[in-house]
A and B are shown apart, each in its own frame.
Chain A
């Protein structure tokens, strides 16, 4: 690669020594320029949003936001190589979805192979992984472990919504709008993938476009000929489809 198309890389890991290994390996590659190093998830999201790097080396276990949450927030534009010490579920998910990853301790051969693949992706020879980040994160979650928080990003600002404070979610094209504490947060995710990540004993899909927090439902009222609306504690009214109504009744009658 020539000088003017330098690959811009960001290293994200909370341990200085772990960053040092990657820095050292990358120093042999003049075609790669390290534009930033980050020691936690918040910083990583901010830096990636500002710098729009080509390549991100991303640790999984970090303060503030873990690697999957960072990936969800930075979107699929950069090529991401995960770096982890030991996480059997994550590794399985990476393998199934052909996501690049490195295991600590990181060996140079394996590092070179991952860098080569990243370059091919960036050069368009290999397709970017088509899997939306939220679905990769879901695949990497240990079974029967549901989300208890949802990170959202607005520009370079990250906020975290606790699922206990989520009133409902509404599908809006490729996004979901998350209603919590009187505000709505947009997040790039399909409503179906959000549905599978939430605890089914607390959240219910009541409509093609709506998931509701069951604790917030105060009553269900008929609406029109054969449809219903769910009325939430804050007064919001959500449409309930026919199948949604059956499910909701089954839950409320329990």
Chain B
């Protein structure tokens, strides 16, 4: 669709913009040829009106030779040719108009006078056409940048949707079923403990569901989620899990994507501690310095453990979410050294959590 013809408002503005051009043409005609002022103004207005439409064809040659993908030679050739053809047609129209006017009898000399106008018409025709070419290139650039903006917005929405989907898939069914089995065991041996575990599990699930809606939460809140997760796991694994925490006080208010760190701790337990007969230690270290939040989760593991079925999903998920949200500003590093497994991530630490 033509960007001007397809829009009444733009068409009106476009035709208004031609009025100064018509005035300039009238001046040139009156000064350079014997045509009188009155006739010059009339002719210039009507010819400009016609040429305004002829110049609209420039849009199509601009579309065919986009600025960023065409050679200068090709653009020069295309537009020079376009300008010559357009002004040629315009001159023919002018000649026909003069011929028609001379037939009315009111302007007997107009045809002869008009032939003096040809250089003026050719010159201004080429100039006006090239101005139109500029106009369309500008319009196309504006359009392209608007599209790029819309695309970026769309990509942002898609990334967020993907993130939400990832979050929903994250509550590990193993964790849920094993916890329920533990509760079932406790109902007969220790009903009070069973009830406590129901409450812990409910608490964890409720937080998980609630947090998925938010785009960022204070680190403090994520930590408290990790604690309710650990409380459930401690019932299952008993003394096999030992947790050490070392967290900067300044880091507590830093906003983080919800459920980003909990999978790291879950991973440390499922793929680390759960495979150790005697259990082991999970160490969580968080610092916030110079606008960078660094998180390190370290745990014991058995390098000779049976390969866990469907392993690594949690970590891959964290890596993807970090990349989608922060790009190069975040880092993700996994290292196994002897019987120690370490995940280290860094990401930008904005000062305050936004209220969400």
Partners in one complex: yes
User: Could you list which residues of chain A lie within 8 angstroms of chain B, going by C-beta atoms?
Assistant: 14-18, 20-21, 24, 39-41, 60-66, 69, 85-87, 89-90, 103-106, 141-142, 145, 148-149, 160
* Chain B proximity of A8: nearest CB distance (Å): 23
- List the A residue with the shortest CB-CB distance to B186: A17
Q: Evaluate whether A87 and B309 lie within 8 angstroms (CB atoms) in the complex, with A17-B236, A63-B274, A64-B277 already known.
A: yes
Interface residues of B in 184-228 (CB under 8 A from A): 184-186, 188-189
- For B290-313 the 0/1 string (1 means CB < 8 A from A) is 000000000000101111111000
- List the B residue with the shortest CB-CB distance to A86: B173
A66 to B178, CA, bound (A): 16
Q: Evaluate whether A104 and B275 lie within 8 angstroms (CB atoms) in the complex, with A17-B186, A63-B305 already known.
A: no
- For B230-257 the 0/1 string (1 means CB < 8 A from A) is 0000011110000000000000000000
Beyond the given A21-B184, A64-B304, please list 18 additional residue pairs across the A-B interface where CB-CB is below 8 A: A14-B277, A17-B181, A17-B235, A20-B189, A21-B181, A24-B189, A41-B306, A61-B274, A61-B306, A61-B308, A63-B274, A63-B277, A63-B305, A85-B173, A85-B174, A104-B178, A106-B184, A149-B304
B276 within 8 A of A: yes
List chain B residues, Cβ under 8 A from A104: 177-178, 180-181
24 A-B Cβ contacts within 8 A? A15-B236, A15-B237, A17-B185, A17-B236, A18-B178, A18-B181, A21-B185, A24-B185, A61-B274, A61-B308, A64-B305, A85-B173, A85-B174, A85-B177, A86-B177, A89-B309, A103-B177, A104-B177, A104-B178, A104-B181, A105-B180, A105-B183, A149-B307, A160-B304
B182 within 8 A of A: yes
A106 to B185, CA, bound (A): 9
List chain B residues, Cβ under 8 A from A86: 173-174, 177
Q: Evaluate whether A24 and B188 lie within 8 angstroms (CB atoms) in the complex, with A18-B178, A105-B181 already known.
A: yes
A106 to B277, CA, bound (A): 23
Question: What is the predominant secondary structure among interface residues of chain B facing chain A?
Answer: helix
* Chain B proximity of A101: nearest CB distance (Å): 13
- List the B residue with the shortest CB-CB distance to A160: B304
- List the B residue with the shortest CB-CB distance to A87: B309
A39 to B173, CA, bound (A): 22
Does A85 lie within 8 Å of B302, measured CB to CB? no
A20 to B182, CA, bound (A): 9
List chain B residues, Cβ under 8 A from A90: 309
A162 to B275, CA, bound (A): 18
Count of A-B contacts judged by CB separation below 8 Å: 84
Does A17 lie within 8 Å of B182, measured CB to CB? yes
List chain A residues, Cβ under 8 A from B185: 17-18, 20-21, 24
A105 to B176, CA, bound (A): 10
Does A64 lie within 8 Å of B306, measured CB to CB? yes
Does B306 lie within 8 Å of A69, measured CB to CB? yes
A41 to B274, CA, bound (A): 13
- For B257-294 the 0/1 string (1 means CB < 8 A from A) is 00000000000000000111100000000000000000
List chain B residues, Cβ under 8 A from A142: 309-310
* Chain B proximity of A199: nearest CB distance (Å): 13
List chain B residues, Cβ under 8 A from A87: 309
Q: Evaluate whether A63 and B177 lie within 8 angstroms (CB atoms) in the complex, with A17-B186, A40-B277, A105-B184 already known.
A: no
A67 to B144, CA, bound (A): 60
- List the B residue with the shortest CB-CB distance to A39: B277
List chain B residues, Cβ under 8 A from A106: 181, 184
* Chain A proximity of B51: nearest CB distance (Å): 68
A160 to B188, CA, bound (A): 39
List chain B residues, Cβ under 8 A from A148: 307
List chain A residues, Cβ under 8 A from B276: 63
* 8 tightest Cβ-Cβ pairs between the two chains A and B: A85-B177, A104-B181, A17-B185, A66-B306, A105-B181, A17-B182, A105-B180, A86-B173
List chain A residues, Cβ under 8 A from B309: 60-61, 66, 87, 89-90, 141-142, 145
List chain B residues, Cβ under 8 A from A105: 177, 180-181, 183-184
List chain A residues, Cβ under 8 A from B306: 41, 61-62, 64-66, 69, 149
A105 to B178, CA, bound (A): 7
Kindly identify which residue among B182, B275, B308 contacts A18, using a CB–CB cutoff of 8 Å: B182
List chain B residues, Cβ under 8 A from A14: 274, 277
- List the A residue with the shortest CB-CB distance to B173: A86
A106 to B184, CA, bound (A): 8
* Chain A proximity of B330: nearest CB distance (Å): 30
Does A16 lie within 8 Å of B238, measured CB to CB? yes
List chain A residues, Cβ under 8 A from B181: 15, 17-18, 21, 85, 104-106
* Chain B proximity of A151: nearest CB distance (Å): 9
List chain A residues, Cβ under 8 A from B188: 24
A61 to B274, CA, bound (A): 9
List chain A residues, Cβ under 8 A from B189: 20, 24
A18 to B186, CA, bound (A): 10
A149 to B308, CA, bound (A): 12
- List the B residue with the shortest CB-CB distance to A65: B306
List chain B residues, Cβ under 8 A from A21: 181, 184-185
List chain A residues, Cβ under 8 A from B186: 17
* Chain B proximity of A145: nearest CB distance (Å): 8
* Chain B proximity of A194: nearest CB distance (Å): 17
A64 to B303, CA, bound (A): 10
* Chain A proximity of B200: nearest CB distance (Å): 14
* Chain B proximity of A96: nearest CB distance (Å): 17
